[in-house]
Amino acid sequence: MKMYLISDNIDTLIGMRLAGIDGCVAHESEDIIAHTEKAVADAELGILIYTEKAAAKVKDYLNNLKLTLHTPLIIEIPDRHGSRDIAESINSMVQESIGLKL
């Protein structure tokens, strides 16, 4: 199973590459969508990771993918430029996924 990162900054990409995760940097929504389409075409891809700001630029597109694709798992991570509180982010994901408020 492969993982792939689509980031809006090089720092996060470098850190993920040190952990063995390949990826790319994309700033415009068109580029993010193009990289996403290329990534989901890979049958070995299991997890597709986005930085917070990159995901925000294509939120509706990602929501549609989450509803229609079984794989890969699409996740959003904060980076050093991120503004969300990680605990709030996890609580929000749990509530959206199973309807349980922590």
Render pLDDT for 53-102 as a digit per residue (tens, 0 to 9): 999 999 999 989 988 888 899 988 887 766 656 556 666 666 766 666 65
Q: Strands 22-25 and 73-77, how do they pair?
A: unpaired
- Give me the percent of the chain exceeding a pLDDT of 70: 78
Q: Which amino acid is at 6?
A: I
Per-residue confidence (pLDDT) for residue 86, from 0 to 100: 55
Per-residue confidence (pLDDT) for residue 7, from 0 to 100: 93
* Residue 81 near residue 69, CB atoms below 8 Å: no
Q: 2-98 belongs to which homologous superfamily?
A: ATPase, V1 complex, subunit F (3.40.50.10580)
Whether the full predicted model's pTM is greater than 0.85, yes or no, is: no
